[in-house]
C-alpha cells in the first residue's frame, strides 16, 4: 500500500528530476543562452538589447598586447557613458564570441576586470549597451602564443 510518505518522496524525486532537466520556472535572473552561443559580436550585443555596435572612445578595454598564456588572459572593461545597462567582454575568434556580461548598477563603478581564455590571436572587444539600446565598443588585438582551449 502506498503510504503518504511514499507519495511525498516520489513527488520530490520527480521535482528533482524536473529541476535537473530545467523545467521548473527559473528565477528572473536567467542565464542568457542565446547570447553565449552567438558567433559574432553584433549577435551577442543584439541578445542583450543593443543595436549595431559603433566604435567609441567612451568605452575602454585593457588587455595585454601579447598574452603569454592563452588560458589566462587578463582583461578589463570600463566605460564613462551615462545610462549604462551592460558591459560585455568578447573574443572575436573564440568558438563562442561572448566571454562575460556585467550588469551595471548604481552601486558599482562601470569597470570590471576578469581573466579569459583565448583560443588564438584575436581582437578582443569591450561593448557597452545603454538603456536606450545603443551598443558602443572598443577593441584591441591580443596576440596569443599558446592557445587557451586545450586543443
Partner 1 sequence: MADPMRIRAQANGGNAVVRVLMSHEMETGQRKDSAGKTIPAWHITEVTAAHNGKPVLSAEWGPAVSKNPFMQFTLKGAKAGDKVSVTWKDNKGDTRTDEATVS
| Euclidean distance between CA atoms 116 and 98, whole angstroms | 10
- Taking the least distance from each CB to partner 1, the nearer of 56 and 122 is 122
Distance CA 65, CA 97 (A): 19
Closest approach, Cβ 7 to partner 1, in A, equals: 25
CB of 47 to partner 1, least distance (A): 11
DSSP string, 5-33: HHHHHHHHHHHHHHHHHT-SPPPSS---H
Residues lying near partner 1 in the complex (CB under 8 A) are found at 19-20, 29, 31-32, 35-36, 71-74, 76, 91, 94-96, 98-103, 105-109, 111-118, 148-151
Grid cell, residue 32, equals 542568457
42 or 71: CB nearest partner 1:
71
| Nearer residue to partner 1 within complex by CB, 1 or 109 | 109
Closer residue to partner 1 in complex, CB, 98/138: 98
Q: Give the whole-angstrom CA distance, residue 74 versus residue 41.
A: 19
Shortest distance, CB of residue 10 to partner 1, whole angstroms? 21
Q: How far apart are CA 62 and CA 141, in angstroms?
A: 11
Handedness of CA 125, 132, 51, 39 (dihedral sign): positive
How far apart are CB 70 and partner 1 at their closest, in Å?
A: 10
Q: Which is nearer to partner 1, 1 or 28 (CB)?
A: 28
Least distance to partner 1 from the beta carbon of 141, Å? 17
- Collapse the DSSP code of 127 into the 3-class scheme (helix H, G, I; strand E, B; otherwise coil) and give the result: strand
Amino acid at each position: 500500500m502506498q503510504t503518504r510518505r511514499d507519495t511525498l518522496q516520489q513527488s520530490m524525486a520527480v521535482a528533482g528530476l524536473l529541476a535537473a532537466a530545467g523545467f521548473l520556472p527559473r528565477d528572473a535572473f536567467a542565464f542568457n543562452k542565446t547570447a553565449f552561443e552567438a558567433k559574432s559580436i553584433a549577435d551577442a550585443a543584439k541578445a542583450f538589447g543593443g543595436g549595431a555596435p559603433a566604435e567609441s572612445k567612451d568605452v575602454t578595454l585593457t588587455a595585454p598586447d601579447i598574452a603569454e598564456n592563452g588560458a589566462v588572459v587578463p582583461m578589463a572593461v570600463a566605460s564613462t557613458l551615462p545610462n549604462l545597462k551592460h558591459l560585455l567582454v568578447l573574443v572575436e575568434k573564440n568558438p563562442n564570441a561572448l566571454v562575460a556580461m556585467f550588469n551595471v548598477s548604481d552601486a558599482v563603478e562601470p569597470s570590471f576586470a576578469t581573466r579569459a581564455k583565448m583560443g588564438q590571436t584575436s581582437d578582443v572587444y569591450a561593448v557597452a549597451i545603454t538603456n536606450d539600446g545603443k551598443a558602443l565598443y572598443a577593441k584591441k588585438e591580443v596576440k596569443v602564443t599558446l592557445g587557451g582551449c586545450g586543443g
